[in-house]
Amino acid sequence: MIVQMKRGATREEVDHVVERAKSLGFGVQLNIGTETTVIAILGSDTGKTPSDIFAVLPGVEAVSRIMKPYKLASREFHPQSSLIKINGCEVGGNRLVVMAGPCAVESERQLFDTAATVKKAGGMVLRGGAFKPRTSPFSFQGLEEKGLELLGEARKKYGLLVVTEVLQIEQIEKVAKYADILQVGARNMQNFALLKELSRTDHPILLKRGLAATVTEWLTAADYLLAEGNQRVILCERGIRTFEDSIRFTMDISSIPVIKRFSHLPVLVDPSHATGHAAFVPAVAKAAIAAGADGLLIEIHPKPETALVDGLQSLSFPAFEQLMADLAPIAKAVGRQM
């Protein structure tokens, strides 16, 4: 951490900062400039120390953090890219992983038809919401347990893995029975109580980016999942909130190379939530693979125009099959395969 003193800061004020740093076990080096004094606070744990501890001291102008606040998720801590193995499927490897399915599980017929389509098109994971976080309390909230059971049956019948969202701690055990991967939704990215509990399970976790979270905060949230021992964490970019109003969210495509540089965790992209509109999903999906994403999370529906939730962003089966075909040469162009 770098503490810049105000012009005219007194010797006592400088000493105060130095003592505070030493009392916390940090090393200190002083740069007494002609105009201002700058104090470098050194040590391996400065990333985890709130900068406020120094910023509040008298005579301090500003504190700049140099070390990033996340540790376990960082590439410095774990230089090799993580390869997440899940019952025969690998996320982060050469083969791209496509997770597809309906936003909400609605019926056996809907889910099984979808699963068959995912399987046939080369997807490895079936997604589907059983518990739905809806903006309004008057909207459809999901089939809940019945939805989980259907996912479990589809998993067996079609030989797919299942990913579905966990909304609260009490649901973890139940959901873990039917799902191979537990999803933490964007609205829960900083539900730290939930993250801590999930860190104690041995199920892989798909952590979606919060819609106003920086990449740094996202990776710090991943630290919560890694802190208690769970090592199988997959990130999922799903767009951030900006002023642009032609789409639902703004897909942050550069987060892919940023994460690849600063973290060892694999990262998927969800073009369906990022755009909110099926017409824009293929372009964003292709861009994600070209940018180096390790896979996709895509919403598909046998009849988007009757979907109970998010029909506008769901691809029809033919559109999904076309997209899978179109992605193959792009994957190959970046040295990956579908």
The helix (run of H) or strand (run of E) holding residue 326 is: helix 317-333
298 binds its own copies (CB under 8 A): no
Identity of the residue, 155 or 232, whose beta carbon is nearer to its own copies in the bound complex:
232
8 A C-beta contact, residue 24 and residue 49:
yes
320 binds its own copies (CB under 8 A): no
224 binds its own copies (CB under 8 A): yes
Secondary structure (3-state) at 291: helix
275 binds its own copies (CB under 8 A): yes
77, 89, 86: which is closest to 227 by C-alpha?
A: 77
99, 155, 173, 166: which is closest to 131 by C-alpha?
A: 166
Least distance CB 111 / its own copies (angstroms): 19
Identity of the residue, 39 or 121, whose beta carbon is nearer to its own copies in the bound complex:
39
Q: How many residues bind its own copies (CB under 8 A)?
A: 111
18 binds its own copies (CB under 8 A): no
Identity of the residue, 124 or 259, whose beta carbon is nearer to its own copies in the bound complex:
259
8 A C-beta contact, residue 248 and residue 239:
yes
Least distance CB 153 / its own copies (angstroms): 25
String of DSSP letters for 102-126: -SB---HHHHHHHHHHHHHHT--EE
In the window 21-50, what residues touch its own copies (CB under 8 A)?
27, 29, 31, 33-35, 38, 40, 42-44, 48, 50
Least distance CB 167 / its own copies (angstroms): 5
Least distance CB 82 / its own copies (angstroms): 18
Secondary structure (3-state) at 333: helix
Identity of the residue, 117 or 275, whose beta carbon is nearer to its own copies in the bound complex:
275
Q: Going by C-beta distance under 8 Å and a sequence separation of 6 or more, which residues neighbour residue 242?
A: 249, 250
258 binds its own copies (CB under 8 A): yes
**List of long-range contacts for 308-312, beta carbons under 8 Å, 24+ apart:** 308/104, 308/106, 308/140, 309/103, 309/104, 309/129, 309/132, 309/134, 309/139, 309/140, 310/103, 310/104, 310/272, 310/276, 312/276, 312/277, 312/278
Least distance CB 64 / its own copies (angstroms): 4
In this chain, which of 193, 200, 229, 337 binds its own copies, going by CB under 8 A? 193
246 binds its own copies (CB under 8 A): yes
DSSP structural state of residue 135? S
In this chain, which of 18, 176, 290, 319 binds its own copies, going by CB under 8 A? 290
Residue 276: CA atoms inside 13 Å, Cβ hemisphere, count?
A: 11
157 binds its own copies (CB under 8 A): no
Position 197, amino acid: E
Least distance CB 87 / its own copies (angstroms): 28
In this chain, which of 157, 169, 177, 229 binds its own copies, going by CB under 8 A? 169
Q: Mask 97-136, x = binds its own copies (CB under 8 A)?
A: ------------------------------------xxxx
> Could you tell me which stretch among 87-95, 111-119, 152-160, 207-215 binds its own copies (CB under 8 A)?
207-215
280, 252, 278: which is closest to 267 by C-alpha?
A: 252
